[in-house]
Structure 1
């Protein structure tokens, strides 16, 4: 190839790159113009700026720490204020910058057991946070009468560089509303001699009383251990419900709610409920996990009826009963 030909090729390639660069620049200019028309200058700046960093571990920890400071201060303030008498205004001044308008009672009344039921950061500006905290306390309503009632009070607390102050006297508010139940998946009551019920009953006996080999009832990867020391001497009146309509006659996995009445030296204690995931391993049902919450219907449904059995044990009222079938208790295993 001659030198003149090579120069022509180089010139052609240069023109091609220049044309491509012009097209790219035109596209960028068009995008900037559209952003300017739609969102103004801020949209243009935002398009080419680095997004702000998300919350860090340190900022999250600092926020939690400030909320705990506000909650502790609110608990102490509510107890001090509600139990103060006319001669204890100095105690209130430790919490309030401006003394409250009105009078205090001549005698103090007992106020105990403060619990924070809700808190939120209502304002954050510069180095000042304002937290709204609701505190529940037990209050003796009438002097000389041992009649306590739980009451709820809301307090606004400012936090500035670690210093706290109540912005006003507490306000009496309504307690948190009671919610509706959620529909659970345990639609079938299992007979006591069904596979799932027998294994669940044996599992609770070993878990709560230490009687029996827990390894017979749990999978090797379950990491479930018996409670030590055992809190109960025996477990009676076990009821079982499941999402498996046959309660373990067939199938390989089931969600199970087992409810039992423990006893201590023959004395009955309140019933306990355990949501379990059970699986069939080598033909034998075992507990794979104690679930953190009961299995819910999917999609989640708000229940309009009574969710618990009589006595409110926490298990659902099943809509049908599965046929009974003797269960094969798993052989001892080594976890």
Structure 2
């Protein structure tokens, strides 16, 4: 753009210089040229002025033309499909938190303290139990399901304790309560409103106590060989030394880990001593006194009894993966969970979308309270 303006200015200067050097004498009538046209000095001067005007117009309009070209080149190409923004899935976090608080308040409330439930439930409540007869010492959400857009079924597990008039407490165990929670606001808060910034929640009824979920039978572990606790097997020695260093901090872990494995001991060390009480692994044969070829992988499940700083024993289990190298076993990882046989894992059932009877017939609360 600057180069165009400089060229235009240079052309104007050259044109003016040419006029000053080659200005002819005016005559009353000039002779016609070979084509039969008459060209007067006045006509030549007008032509020069016209050229100057055109050049200056080019100079002035240069920036505007350049900006127009830039905007046209940076605009979206015609016919190119614009990306479609995916809808944000509704989050159960907000409704679940409100349901957990509601269940805790419900268990604690009683006759005369029904107003404690107002932040969660705006319906009419009349309780006959004495306040504080039951309390939830612990609670957590174990299931959440959106039965309708913005309407959630939340199941809360609570560790309930009963208290009598004499101040004695009795643990009732874990009980389960299902709550219907209506959510308004953005999808991130469990609602359906686009562009909303304020969330609100309301329970649609008092909690319903329900049965405990079906307990799963643990799958078969993949450790088929029992090495015992006193075996002199090299893999057992590696596990024993590694866990002692890991839990007590009395030795460096590098002595027992594979090259490149990055593991840190627990700090500060929670235990003063560690004793192995049992080891199972997935290698066949008893008394593996000889380390297999390099690269052989071994999975272990190690039971230990760790003694804390006060002298109390604590039972722990560790799933380890070992690899052989240069005639010795080395710890490659502390696994996230014990290995199970693939055939023993339950098959994934297709998700159901049929709402439960109580959720399908529940009516949303007309005035959810703001959080």
Structures share fold, TM-score greater than 0.5: yes
Aligned in 2, Cα 1:74/1:271: closer, same or farther, shift over 3 Å?
same
1:165 aligns with 2:187: no
Q: How far, CA to CA, are the matches of 1:163 and 1:77 in structure 2?
A: 14
Unaligned runs of 5+ in 2: 1-80, 186-198, 347-371
1:105 aligns with 2:139: no
Q: Is the 8 A contact 2:307 2:313 kept in 1?
A: yes
Q: Is the 8 A contact 2:291 2:327 kept in 1?
A: no
Unaligned runs of 5+ in 1: 1-49, 303-335
Q: How far, CA to CA, are the matches of 1:296 and 1:147 in structure 2?
A: 38
Which structure 2 residues correspond to residues 263-282 of structure 1 after superposition, within 5 A? 263-265=307-309, 267-282=311-326
1:192 aligns with 2:231: yes
Q: Is the 8 A contact 2:136 2:158 kept in 1?
A: no
Residues 104-151 of structure 1 show CA distances to partners (whole Å, capped at 9, x for unaligned) of: 2244324133422323233233xx333423241423154432112232
1:208 aligns with 2:269: no
The CA deviation at 1:192 is 2.0
Which structure 2 residues correspond to residues 17-166 of structure 1 after superposition, within 5 A? 59-60=88-89, 63-64=90-91, 67-100=92-125, 103-125=127-149, 128-140=150-162, 142-144=164-166, 145-150=168-173, 151-161=175-185, 162-166=199-203
Aligned in 2, Cα 1:87/1:234: closer, same or farther, shift over 3 Å?
same
Q: Is the 8 A contact 1:140 1:148 kept in 2?
A: yes
1:225 aligns with 2:225: no
1:249 aligns with 2:294: no
Match of 2:33 in 1: none
The CA deviation at 1:53 is 6.2
Q: Structure 2-normalised TM-score?
A: 0.60
The CA deviation at 1:176 is 2.9
Q: Structure 1-normalised TM-score?
A: 0.66
Larger radius of gyration between Structure 1 and Structure 2: 2
Match of 1:327 in 2: none
The CA deviation at 1:287 is 0.3
4+ residue runs over 4 A deviation: 52-56
Q: Is the 8 A contact 1:192 1:239 kept in 2?
A: no
Match of 1:283 in 2: 327
Q: Is the 8 A contact 2:279 2:301 kept in 1?
A: yes
Aligned in 2, Cα 1:165/1:179: closer, same or farther, shift over 3 Å?
same
The CA deviation at 1:254 is 0.8
Aligned in 2, Cα 1:115/1:106: closer, same or farther, shift over 3 Å?
closer
The CA deviation at 1:55 is 5.2
Give the total of aligned pairs. 243
Q: Is the 8 A contact 1:141 1:149 kept in 2?
A: no
Q: How far, CA to CA, are the matches of 1:54 and 1:283 in structure 2?
A: 57
Q: How far, CA to CA, are the matches of 1:296 and 1:240 in structure 2?
A: 16
